[in-house]
Amino acid sequence: MASFVIGGGNKLAGSMEIKSAKNSVLVLMSASILTQEKVVLHNCPDITDVHKMLDILASLGCKVSFVGGDIQIVSPTHLKTEINQALASSLRSSIFLLGALLSRTNKGKFAYPGGCNIGARPVDIHLDGLRKLGVRIEEGQDYILCDSKRAKSGYVKLALPSVGATENLIMASVFLQGKTIIENCAMEPEIVDLQDMLVQMGAKIKGGGTYRIEIEGVDSLHGVDFTPIPDRIVAGTYIIATAMTGGEVDLGNVRAAHLDSLISKMPKYTCNFIYKDDRIIVQSGGRHTNARLVETWYYPYFPTDLQTQFLALQSIGKGVCMIVENIFEARYSAALELVKMGADIIVRDRVAVVRGVPKLNGRDVWASDLRGGASLVLGGLVADGDTIVHDIFHIDRGYEDMAKVLQGLGADIKRIE
Ligand code: UD1
């Protein structure tokens, strides 16, 4: 299995460009089956999750290609309605196909989705919402069988503002005659991106990014050429990396507004941000003072997907920081590995208390989920000596060629297979 070998101590310097957001691209790929015309998505990251979604779409009968960052998808007249169990369980985001597949074919058989080991990740809110729209659902031991022949527009209030459930319900309602209202929606930028693409395809949707979304059913959708939003989590990870190494990095293709909750918690005196059009320059120097409290919550609050990278940053600051993870219950696995590197972190349930130490030491550490894996790389960039991050297939799910990107910024990192 592949690993990263990282020699710590180099400051990151230079510039880099951020690709389209994984969490948007995967959903928009699912939405592509809502039309039989060509859907083109630009600037997509070459990551394993995207390849898995391409495989799933191909298994349903779609013609797919991924060349030079551009994904093209053409969905056939007769889409298959069953998603291969092995493929579905290897990709959590396969669940996003549920709403789109029901809209196109009126039925679907799904395996329970796989994905990161960060908590239970149930799909009850997705299924409850679909049931409220009249979809008949049979839940077996390891499959979900759905029939939407009798589905009709209606009113759904989500029990929690789940990102995936909001996206699925939007896709499930685009063709339902009349008006569907979804309340307590997730407000993540990825929801707005989905709305924007579907509206360009001819859908009638409004309210994306707010508490209430309204969908007026249309008869059909057409093809689209679309550039998804930049990846705020990848950008945030490299912002934190720059802050940790005391360097200066110019990040292109970023939306500052999407990063507000992170930047407001970044060290004030040792970390400076310069904003220019779609670029952010991060300048950092000196040992920072830790934030006192960071709590993850739904957008626009601090994202759970940046929590463990932020924990790595706090592990080398001055003072004590309390981190509270309110979204996923098992998101501190990287903390134990950072402790092996010398970090002083105590974890109890959803709370981590980090007392910053002056330095980390290079060790062998193991990634066990995507974002946690990234935080170990960040630790390695500042540790004394060599760090080997094992099981980087987790990192490959969401970061395109992380070693090459970091080498380009002057880090001493190489990938070994
Ligand atoms: C999406 C993101 C993921 C991010 C998460 C939270 C994608 C591909 N993934 O995941 O990177 O970490 O949002 O911002 O976009 N829940 C239920 N029942 C459900 C659905 C969710 O109880 O049916 C709970 C979850 O356990 C969690 C919370 O709701 O506590 C939020 O989950 P959700 O927003 O659905 O996350 P995902 O859409 O899976």
Q: What is the CATH number of the domain that holds 32?
A: 3.65.10.10
Looking at the structure, tell me whether residues 252 and 346 fall in a common domain: yes
CB 406 within 8 A of CB 399: no
Q: Is 229 in contact with 255 (CB distance < 8 Å)?
A: yes
- Find the DSSP H helices in 4-47: 22-31
Distance from residue 269's CA to the centre of ligand 1 (Å):
34
The reported pLDDT for the residue numbered 253 is 98
Query: From CA 73, how far away is CA 167, in angstroms rounded?
Result: 19
Ligand 1, pocket residues at CB < 6 Å: 23, 26, 93, 119-126, 160, 162-165, 186, 190, 303-305, 327-328
Rg of the chain taking only CA atoms, in angstroms: 21
| Domain boundary residue, one of 191, 226, 261 | 226
Q: Which of 226, 253, 271 is the last residue of a domain?
A: 226
Say yes or no: 238 and 205 in one domain.
no
Shortest-distance atom of ligand 1 to CA 233: 11
Whether residues 327 and 220 share a domain: the answer is no
Contacts of 97 (CB under 8 A, 6+ apart): 30, 33, 56, 60, 83, 108, 110
Query: Which residues in the chain come in under a pLDDT of 70?
Result: 113-120
164 CA to middle of ligand 1, Å? 6
Query: Which residue lies with its CA nearest to atom 20 of ligand 1?
Result: 123
Q: Determine contact, residues 291/307, Cβ cutoff 8 Å.
A: no
Tokens of 241: 């990396």
Cα–ligand 1 centroid distance for 382 (angstroms): 31
Q: Residues for the chain: how many in total?
A: 417
Mutation pick for ligand 1 pocket among 50, 139, 162 (CB with most ligand atoms within 8 Å)? 162
Distance CA 134, CA 153 (A): 8
248-252 vs 13-17, strand pairing mode? parallel
Does residue 189 share a domain with residue 43?
A: yes
In sequence order, which residues have a C-beta less than 8 Å from that of residue 71 and are 6 or more positions away? 25, 29, 40, 41, 44, 50, 54, 64, 65
Tokens (6 digits) for 360: 């980390």
Closest atom of ligand 1 to CA, residue 93: 8
Among 121, 167, 229, the mutation site with the greatest number of ligand 1 atoms within 8 A of its Cβ is: 121
Give 19 Cα–ligand 1 centroid separation in angstroms: 22
Same domain for 63 and 211, yes or no, is: yes
Identify whether residues 165 and 308 lie together within a single domain: no
- Ligand 1 nearest atom to the CA of residue 95, by list position: 39
Is the same domain home to 247 and 379?
yes
Task: Give the structural domain span for 85.
Answer: 22-226
DSSP one-letter code for 403 = H
- Name the residue with the closest Cα to ligand 1, atom 38: 164
Atom of ligand 1 nearest to the CA of 124: 23
How many Å separate Cα 335 from the centre of its chain? 20
Beta-strand ranges (E) seen in 80-154 are 107-111, 136-139, 143-147
* Predicted confidence (pLDDT) per residue in 360-400, tens digit: 999 999 999 999 999 999 999 999 999 999 999 999 999 99
Angle at 191 between CA 275 and CA 400, to 5 degrees: 60
What residue owns the CA closest to ligand 1's atom 7? 23
User: Which residue type is seen at 399?
Assistant: Y
- Helix, strand, or coil (residue 20): strand
Residues 152, 217 within the same domain = yes
SS (H, E, C) 250-303: EEECCCHHHHHHHHCCCCCCCEEEEEECCEEEEEECCCCECCCEEEECCCCCEC
Q: Atom 8 in ligand 1: which residue has the minimum CA distance? A: 23
Task: Give residue 119's pLDDT.
Answer: 63
- Given 183, 211, 226, the domain boundary residue is 226
Smallest CA separation from ligand 1 atom 31, residue: 162
**Distance between terminal CA atoms of the chain?**
6
Pocket test for ligand 1, best of 20, 56, 327, 350 (most atoms within 8 A of CB): 327
DSSP state at residue 34: G
Residue owning the nearest CA to atom 29 of ligand 1: 162
Residue from 163, 167, 237, 329 whose mutation best tests the ligand 1 pocket (most atoms within 8 A of CB): 163
Annotated catalytic residues are 116
Q: Distance from the CA of 304 to the center of ligand 1, in angstroms?
A: 10
d(C-alpha 166, C-alpha 59), whole Å: 25
Same domain, 148 and 160: yes
Q: What amino acid occupies position 53? A: M
125 shares a domain with 31? yes
| Count of domains observed in the chain | 2
Q: Are residues 328 and 251 in the same domain?
A: yes
Residues 189 and 171 in one domain: yes
- Write phi, then psi, for 376 (nearest 5 degrees): -70, -35
Listed residue (292, 283, 334, 288) closest to 313, CA to CA: 288
How far is ligand 1, taken at its centre, from the CA of residue 229, in Å?
19
The rounded Å distance from CA 73 to ligand 1 centre is 26
Q: Give the C-alpha separation, 25 to 53, whole Å.
A: 10
Report pLDDT for 89.
Answer: 80
